[in-house]
Amino acid sequence: MAIDWGTVSAVLTAGGTLVLAVASFASIRSADRAARSAERAIQVSLRPVLVGARPTDPEQKLIWSDGHRAHLAGSAGYAALGDDAIYLGAALRNLGPGLGVVHGWSLPRGDTPVAAAEFRPQGLDMYLAPADHGTWHAALRDPADPAFAVLAQQVKNRERINVDLLYGDHEGGQRTVTRISLLPRGEEGWLCQTVRHWNLDRPDPRRSERP
């Protein structure tokens, strides 16, 4: 039987092309995994994680735009009624390796935070350096705001006050919501307690599917 070298050549060429395609596909997948790993490593290096400050952290000063002032020692919180404003504050610590920027805050009424667009904006950006302590503060100044009367009663009656903080890295990504509680301590003081974190730009690990 005569060998059809044309057919053999075509088959060998097709086989070589298939092997090359498989190798290229594997190489692309490997490169894609490497790129994703590198991207995740960069994100981790930029990620802030905010919690209440340590009891041993030094005292810090808070100054509001209207000149109201307060000092927070260690893991303290702050809540006070003014003539036409309610002042809130907390001593915080950034446990993450990246610079944290607080973008807004809210007074939650449920178990989950409101949408990012519904957070009250900060009057100024608040930065917390990596592995360092810092502060957050804000004020509610509109008596017509539905939250004003409720918050005023909480401060007056010295009840637990929950506050959600919206923050991210200095690139504007990795948005996170951390819920803190201001708890009455003694007759006048307040304590800042970290309650929970929500990642807005990544899947919620509490809701991930389990095998």
Q: pLDDT per residue over 2-33, tens digit each?
A: 655 566 566 566 666 666 666 666 566 655 55
DSSP assigned state of 108:
-
- pLDDT tens per residue, range 149-179: 999 999 999 999 999 999 999 888 899 999 9
Q: Helix, strand or coil for residue 31?
A: helix
- pLDDT tens per residue, range 37-88: 545 545 566 799 999 999 999 999 999 999 999 999 999 999 999 989 999 9
CA distances from 81 to 84, 85, 117, 186 (A): 8, 6, 27, 17
CA distances from 26 to 20, 35, 105 (A): 10, 14, 46
- CA nearest neighbour of 119 among 99, 138, 105: 105
- pLDDT tens per residue, range 200-211: 987 776 665 544
- pLDDT tens per residue, range 104-128: 999 998 899 999 999 999 988 899 9
CA distances from 34 to 25, 47, 97, 100 (A): 14, 20, 22, 27
CATH code, residues 50-207? 2.60.40
Spatial neighbors of 129 by CB under 8 A, at least 6 apart, are 94, 99
